């Protein structure tokens, strides 16, 4: 690839690299991930459940076969697979007041799934749900998950509004303790809670001083705003409102607030990459192939396209599948060829530049005020941050009641006073502050120690992982029998995380069922199995360190300070699924133990 070819595409790649580096440099903060705080201590009040009251109940003292921590998609999929195989004693536990996981907590106005519902919503054919929209509302997804829990009879044994705080291996089972005073035994424990469930707030000086109303998007106060997820926020028609954050959540919530607030100030630090959405109503005819098994086939098609395979047909044909080449470069390191070839690397960078230029041109096309349009343009590479999709977000800035406040030069909002937000020296008085500032992504209670797990020989889980994760396939750890963990660590990843959770659930439930069939007391990987998987991860993990190091900060790159640790299984989910099936056939007997 020579400079002539580059010029032929109209891309000055050197100038673009400089611009991206400049934007990164002005955004980077020395405090990295430390700029955020979880909702604990004096912020604990902001973590409270605004949707359902916590009801008094007597502590449980009993024994169950399966304890599944997390009532979201991963927990439900595991429970349902076990239930279908005839397991009766299944307890799901969740801090939330109902099933739904992230869709329980996130009910902000405008909430929609950004993956096509027909491949995202699990087990549609089990309950006969057919999504009413191509990208369903959060409420539709939550109702579907509740319907699954009902159909598979998961409410009776469930412990909701309950957090497990201790799990100790007794030699035959796990003894579980909770924050509601429960003490019970479970033969198997599956932890599927930690995707995007812990909200975070920026440590903005003065945040505790604000005298108006303030909440995180995952704890929406509809009593204050009026309305529901679909709109009708009439409580805001005489209010000045601030939103902090313009990520995937901000992009969805801002148009909804703009419609009702007297005035809306959008505090932006890094502009989002906003691609077209093209949402529409769907009925059964829309998917064309609706013969039994249609959802599985559609999910597979999406998984293949977004994991580097090239099926003949793209059934989904949306912005994710059209940009799959960028995803594949991230996940599998391929770009129509060998990326160790510098020409291929440059070709990919140019394609990225062309795609980002189209995103920036779209801002100019839609946003009328030139200064606002300029400030809304993202200057980073595709997949430096999660792309967002909206046909409503950019037009919202043409409304007279909406003001974009660019905080980039100041590293974010400078201060909060008792009456508003300050950027530099300018104060913006408001009645309500909505924090669309995201989540502690991917850290489950097992990994933070909020669930204190003590395995064989009194060894704690945190000790076992003191020098980094130690797992077989990401799910199990030697010394912790019958304990399974779903996360993004030591496993493959896919943008349809719901499908990944279903792949995890299928494997875990198969392993547990095989152990029961064999009459085993349980299953635990040997150290040798674990070491072999560690080597496999190190051998195959994509090295994205350099890419992330050049990216504008965010949770994808540990706020601009990425580590080079090998975390992900490089060949991707389709190969992983085969690896897991072969392991179950050939190696599982060696992991069983008998009393
Ligand atoms: P993000 O972490 O993506 O975004 C947080 C936003 O807050 C960023 O714009 C960030 O700016 C901004 N911010 C943080 N601190 C400050 C500050 N001090 N001053 C000003 N701005 C600040 O969180 P989201 O909730 O938007 O998304 C999290 C994840 O949740 C998504 O990536 C996605 O995985 C999931 N999600 C999925 C959806 C779906 O439809 N499937 C919908 C919504 C969310 P900066 O970029 O500069 O850090």
- 104 in helix, strand or coil? helix
DSSP 341-374: SHHHHHHHHHHHHHHHHHHHHHHHHH--SHHHHH
How, if at all, do strands 420-423 and 415-416 pair? antiparallel
Cα–Cα dist 358/356, whole Å: 5
CA–CA dist 276, 214 (Å, integer): 31
Does the CA dihedral 257-258-260-262 come out positive or negative?
A: positive
Cα 223 from Cα 14, distance rounded (Å): 52
Choose the residue to mutate in 218, 249, 268, 443 for probing ligand 1, maximizing ligand atoms within 8 Å of C-beta. 249
- Of all residues in the chain, the percent with pLDDT exceeding 70 is 96
Neighbours of 587 (CB within 10 A): 14
Q: Which residues pair with 69 in a beta bridge?
A: 93, 191
Look at ligand 1, atom 33, and give the residue with the nearest C-alpha. Answer: 248
Query: Angle CA(442)–CA(301)–CA(510) in degrees, nearest 5?
Result: 60
3-state class (DSSP) for residue 196 = coil
Output b/e per residue, 53-65; b: 16+ Cβ within 10 A.
eeeeeeebeeebb
283: CA distance to ligand 1 center in Å?
32
* Structural Rg of the chain based on CA atoms: 24
Which of 311, 298, 309, 247 minimizes the C-alpha distance to 121? Answer: 298
Phi–psi pair at 416, nearest 5 degrees? -120, 135
The residue whose CA is least distant from atom 12 of ligand 1 is 245
3-state SS string over 469-514? CCCECCCECCCCCCEEECCCCCCCCCCCHHHHHHHHHHHHHHHHHH
Question: Which ligand 1 atom lies nearest to the CA of residue 36?
Answer: 15
Q: How far is the CA of 244 from the centre of ligand 1 (A)?
A: 9
- Looking from the CA of residue 554, the nearest atom of ligand 1 is 48
Do 172 and 595 form a contact (C-beta atoms < 8 A)?
Answer: yes
Q: Which atom of ligand 1 is nearest to the CA of 113?
A: 40
What pairs with residue 415 in β-bridges?
A: 422
Nearest CA to ligand 1 atom 46: 270
Q: Which atom of ligand 1 is nearest to the CA of 555?
A: 2
Q: What contacts 156, CB < 8 A, 6 or more positions away?
A: none
Which residue CA neighbors atom 37 of ligand 1 most closely? 248
Q: Judge whether 12 and 354 are in contact, CB under 8 Å.
A: no
What confidence score (pLDDT) does residue 526 get? 97
What is the number of other CB atoms lying within 10 angstroms of the CB of residue 590? 10
Query: Using CA positions, which residue lies closest to atom 36 of ligand 1?
Result: 248
State residue 5's pLDDT score: 46
Q: Which helix (H) or strand (E) holds 306?
A: none
The pTM for the full model equals: 0.95
Cα of 248 from ligand 1 centre, angstroms: 6
**Cα separation, 166 vs 172, whole angstroms:** 16
- DSSP type of residue 178: E
Nearest to 435 by CA among 221, 226, 145: 221
pLDDT recorded at residue 374: 98
Low-confidence ranges of the chain (pLDDT < 50): 1-5, 7-8
What 8-state DSSP symbol labels residue 59?
P
pLDDT at 335: 59
- Residue 18 has phi, psi (to 5 degrees) of -65, -45
Rounded to whole angstroms, the Cα distance separating 244 from 434 reads 6
Mind listing the pLDDT tens digit for each residue in 351-374?
899 999 999 999 999 999 999 999
**Residues with C-beta less than 6 Å from any ligand 1 atom:** 27, 112-115, 196, 202, 204, 244-250, 267, 269-270, 386, 407, 412-413, 436-439, 554-555
Query: Which of the listed residues 38, 202, 248, 277 should we mutate to test ligand 1's pocket, taking the one with most ligand atoms within 8 A of CB?
Result: 248
Choose the residue to mutate in 109, 202, 438 for probing ligand 1, maximizing ligand atoms within 8 Å of C-beta.
438
Cα-to-centroid distance, 554 and ligand 1 (Å): 8
Nearest Cα residue to atom 19 of ligand 1: 412
| 555 Cα–ligand 1 center, Å | 8
Q: How far is the CA of 357 from the centre of ligand 1 (A)?
A: 22
Distance, in Å, from the CA atom of 397 to the CA atom of 68, rounded to the nearest integer, reads 44
| Closest ligand 1 atom, residue 112 Cα | 40
- Report the alpha-carbon distance of residue 101 to residue 70 in Å, rounded: 7
Instruction: Kindly give the distance from the C-alpha atom of residue 296 to the centroid of ligand 1, in angstroms, as a whole number.
Output: 31
Please tell me the residue having the least CA distance from ligand 1 atom 6: 245
Give me ligand 1 centre to Cα 252, in Å. 11
Cα of 253 from ligand 1 centre, angstroms: 11
Distance 386 CA to ligand 1 centre (A): 9
Short-list 303, 411, 405, CA closest to 31:
411
Q: How far apart, in whole angstroms, are the C-alpha atoms of residue 139 and residue 116?
A: 15
Whose Cα sits closest to atom 24 in ligand 1? Answer: 438
Beta carbons of 331 and 493 less than 8 angstroms apart: yes
Asked whether 96 and 106 are in contact (CB, 8 A), the reply is no
Instruction: Kindly report, residue by residue over 389-441, the tens digit of the pLDDT.
Output: 999 999 999 999 999 999 999 999 999 999 999 999 999 999 999 999 999 87
Q: Which spans in 541-572 are helix H?
A: 545-549
C-alpha of residue 246 to centroid of ligand 1, in Å: 6
Of all protein residues, the one whose alpha carbon is nearest to atom 3 of ligand 1 is 247
Q: Which pLDDT value is given to residue 586?
A: 97
Task: Please choose from 39, 116, 437 the residue to mutate so as to test ligand 1's pocket, defined by most ligand atoms within 8 A of CB.
Answer: 437
Distance in angstroms (rounded) separating the CA atoms of residues 213 and 150:
36
Q: What residue owns the CA closest to ligand 1's atom 48? A: 554
DSSP symbols for 242-305: EEE--SHHHHHHHHHHHHH-SEEEEEESS---EE-----B--GGGGS--STTHHHHHHHHHHHH
Instruction: Calculate how far, in angstroms, residue 250's C-alpha sits from the geometric centre of ligand 1.
Output: 7
């Amino acid at each position: 690839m020579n400079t002539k070819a580059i010029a032929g595409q109209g891309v000055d790649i050197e100038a673009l690299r400089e611009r991206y580096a400049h934007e990164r440099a002005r955004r980077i903060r020395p405090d990295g991930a430390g700029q955020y705080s979880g909702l604990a201590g004096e912020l604990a009040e902001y973590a409270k459940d605004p949707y359902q009251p916590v009801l008094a109940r007597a502590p449980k003292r009993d024994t169950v076969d399966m304890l599944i921590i997390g009532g979201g998609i991963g927990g439900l999929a595991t429970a349902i697979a076990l239930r279908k195989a005839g397991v009766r004693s299944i307890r799901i536990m969740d801090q939330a007041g109902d099933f739904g996981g992230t869709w329980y907590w996130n009910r902000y106005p405008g909430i929609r799934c950004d993956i096509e519902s027909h491949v995202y919503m699990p087990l549609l054919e089990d309950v006969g749900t057919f999504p009413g929209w191509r990208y369903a509302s959060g409420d539709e997804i939550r109702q579907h998950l509740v319907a699954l829990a009902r159909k598979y009879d998961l409410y009776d044994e469930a412990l909701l509004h309950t957090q497990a705080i201790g799990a100790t291996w007794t030699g035959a089972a796990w003894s579980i303790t909770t924050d509601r005073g429960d003490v019970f035994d479970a033969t198997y424990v599956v932890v599927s809670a930690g995707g995007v469930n812990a909200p975070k707030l920026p440590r903005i000086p003065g945040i505790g001083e604000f005298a108006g109303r303030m909440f995180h998007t995952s704890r929406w106060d509809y009593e204050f705003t009026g309305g529901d997820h679909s709109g009708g926020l009439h409580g805001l028609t005489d209010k000045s409102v601030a939103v902090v954050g313009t990520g995937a959540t901000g992009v969805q919530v801002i148009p909804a607030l703009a419609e009702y607030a007297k005035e809306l100030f959008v505090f932006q630090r890094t502009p989002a990459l906003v691609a077209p959405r093209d949402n529409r109503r769907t009925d059964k005819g829309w998917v064309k192939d609706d013969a039994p098994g249609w959802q599985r086939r559609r999910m597979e098609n999406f998984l293949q396209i977004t994991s580097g395979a090239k099926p003949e047909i793209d059934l989904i044909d949306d912005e994710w599948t059209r940009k799959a080449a960028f995803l594949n470069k991230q996940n599998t390191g391929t770009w129509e060829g060998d990326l160790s070839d510098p020409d291929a690397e440059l070709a990919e960078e140019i394609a990225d530049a062309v795609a980002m230029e189209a995103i920036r041109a779209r801002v100019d096309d839609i946003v009328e005020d030139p200064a606002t349009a300029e400030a809304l343009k993202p200057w980073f590479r595709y997949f430096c941050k999660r792309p967002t999709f909206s046909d409503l977000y950019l037009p919202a800035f043409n409304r007279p009641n909406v003001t974009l406040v660019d905080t980039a030069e100041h590293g974010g909002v400078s201060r909060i006073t008792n009456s508003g937000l300050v950027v530099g020296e300018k104060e913006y008085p408001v009645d309500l502050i909505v924090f669309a500032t995201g989540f502690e992504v991917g850290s489950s209670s097992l990994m933070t120690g909020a669930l204190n797990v003590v395995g064989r020989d009194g060894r704690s889980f945190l000790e076992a992982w003191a020098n980094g994760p130690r797992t077989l396939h990401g799910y199990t750890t030697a010394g912790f029998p019958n304990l399974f963990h779903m996360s993004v660590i030591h496993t493959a990843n896919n943008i349809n995380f719901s499908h990944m959770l279903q792949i995890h659930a299928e494997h875990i439930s198969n392993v547990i069922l095989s152990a029961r069939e064999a009459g085993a007391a349980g299953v635990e990987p040997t150290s040798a199995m674990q070491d072999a998987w560690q080597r496999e991860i190190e051998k195959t993990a994509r090295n994205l360190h350099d890419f992330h190091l050049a990216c504008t900060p965010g949770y994808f790159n540990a706020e601009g300070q990425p580590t080079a640790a090998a975390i992900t299984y490089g060949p991707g989910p389709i190969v992983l699924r085969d690896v897991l099936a072969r392991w179950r056939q050939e190696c599982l007997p060696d992991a069983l133990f008998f009393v």
